[in-house]
């Protein structure tokens, strides 16, 4: 049998590298959708009520909660702004320690850690994109306080703050909430990212993410918004359509070190980005994560924290799983242009 190469002309693909991870992303115009094509034609399900009697996160249903770690004082008609509770089905628990055990040729450790839920509002149908700035500021303040509390324990090597919005993003409770997990070991992919940043600093004497931001600002084509303390842009090697990074202007390794002014500006930027994604893409499912230095890395000059938002508009398939290389059918420059356009 004779095998022939497929020579049919097609739009050129491009492979870009994410400088922070050194991972490659394929941008494939031949399978590209226009930004408008990612907009959902119909909303997901029926509209949610302001209060759900069966929701454990709604006010008045405290009997469904085992404990409330933390609560911020309410304003106006709101009995409280945020609450922090233990996850009912925790991935990790704070009992025991993180000592390793050898079992023959295998290594294991107890499932030590913390798994908390941040209830972001008492209103059942008010996602972050629809909140007021004071409400989002309360969410950021809660993140910061719990982050500092958890990182004060040296056994908690890494503290991950994340939000899953929509079923496709992995949420199981519709009431607006985020999660915080503290782990007693540093995951390998975080170690690898730190190693890349350290190598860049040793070679050039500069922070890798600071240099990436400077490059994005100079190009300008992927920048969405800016304020006194933050930039928001679609990265050059965006792994998914409409991925957005919110990066502090000030070089800072640890989210725990942000100032009051920075927390206020972060809340304003997060609200602006999520509101535009909500409006332009009709409430897409998304995940966001705060990437910060580990507990023992807070003072490192080569690390720089940031917030990463990833809409769930495409599905990772066989090639991505087999190769580790992502395929993005969208183009970052066009996505940024679409989000900047006024309706």
Domains of the chain with bracketed CATH = 62-183 (3.30.428.10), 205-340 (3.30.428.10)
Task: Render pLDDT for 93-109 as a digit per residue (tens, 0 to 9).
Answer: 998 788 888 988 999 98
Q: Examine the pLDDT at 11 and tell me if it is beyond 90.
A: no
Average pLDDT over residues 158-187: 94
Express as a percent the part of the chain with pLDDT over 70: 93
Is residue 58 part of an annotated ligand binding site? yes
Average pLDDT over residues 9-32: 84
Q: Which of 177, 200, 291, 304 is catalytic?
A: 177
**Average pLDDT value for the chain:** 91
Q: Examine the pLDDT at 79 and tell me if it is beyond 70.
A: yes
Q: Is 177 an annotated catalytic residue?
A: yes
Q: Examine the pLDDT at 270 and tell me if it is beyond 70.
A: yes
pLDDT at 10: 44
pTM of the model: 0.93
Q: Examine the pLDDT at 6 and tell me if it is beyond 70.
A: no
3-class secondary structure per residue, the chain = CCCCCCCCCCCCCEEEECCCCCCEEEECHHHCCCHHHHCCCCCCCCCCCCCCCCCCCCCCCHHHCCCCCEEEECCCCCCEEEEEEECCCCCCECCCCCCCEEECCEEECCCEEEEEEEECCCCCCCCHHHCCHHHHHHHHHHHHHHHHHHHCCCCCCEEEEEEEECHHHCCCCCCCEEEEEEECCCCHHHHHHHHHHHHHHHHHCCCHHHHHHHHHHHHCCCEEEECCCEEEECCCCCCCCCCEEEEECCCCCCHHHCCHHHHHHHHHHHHHHHHHHHHHHCCCCEEEEEECCCHHHCCCCCCCCEEEEEECCCCCCHHHHHHCCEEECCCHHHHHHHHHCCC
pLDDT at 70: 93
């Amino acid at each position: 049998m004779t095998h022939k190469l497929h020579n049919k002309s097609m739009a050129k693909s491009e492979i870009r590298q994410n400088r922070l991870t050194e991972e490659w992303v394929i941008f494939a115009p031949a399978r590209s959708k226009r930004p408008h094509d990612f907009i959902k034609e119909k909303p997901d399900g029926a509209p949610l009520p302001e209060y759900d009697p069966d929701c454990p996160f709604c006010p008045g249903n405290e009997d469904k909660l085992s404990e409330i770690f933390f609560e911020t004082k309410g304003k106006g008609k709101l009995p409280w702004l945020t609450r922090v509770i233990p996850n009912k089905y925790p991935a990790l628990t704070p009992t025991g320690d993180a000592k390793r055990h050898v079992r023959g040729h295998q290594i294991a450790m107890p499932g030590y850690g913390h798994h908390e839920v941040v209830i972001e509002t008492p209103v059942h149908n008010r996602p972050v994109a629809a909140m007021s700035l004071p409400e989002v500021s309360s969410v950021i303040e809660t993140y910061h306080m719990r982050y500092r509390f958890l990182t004060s324990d040296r056994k908690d090597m890494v503290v991950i703050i994340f939000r899953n919005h929509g079923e496709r993003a992995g949420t199981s409770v519709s009431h607006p909430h985020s999660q915080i997990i503290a782990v007693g070991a540093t995951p390998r992919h975080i170690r690898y990212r730190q190693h890349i940043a350290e190598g860049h600093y040793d070679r050039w004497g500069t922070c890798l993410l600071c240099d990436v931001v400077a490059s994005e600002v100079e190009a300008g084509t992927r920048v969405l918004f800016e304020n006194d303390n933050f930039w928001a842009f679609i990265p050059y090697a965006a792994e998914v359509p409409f991925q957005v990074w919110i990066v502090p202007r000030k070089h800072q390794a640890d989210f725990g070190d942000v100032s009051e002014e920075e927390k206020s500006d972060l809340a304003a930027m997060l609200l602006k980005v999520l509101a535009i994604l909500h409006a332009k893409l009709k409430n897409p499912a998304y995940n966001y994560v705060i990437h910060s230095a580990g507990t023992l890395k807070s003072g490192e000059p080569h690390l720089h924290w940031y917030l990463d938002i990833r809409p769930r508009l495409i599905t990772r398939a066989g090639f991505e799983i087999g190769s580790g290389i992502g395929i993005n059918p969208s183009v970052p420059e066009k996505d940024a242009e679409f989000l900047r356009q006024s309706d």
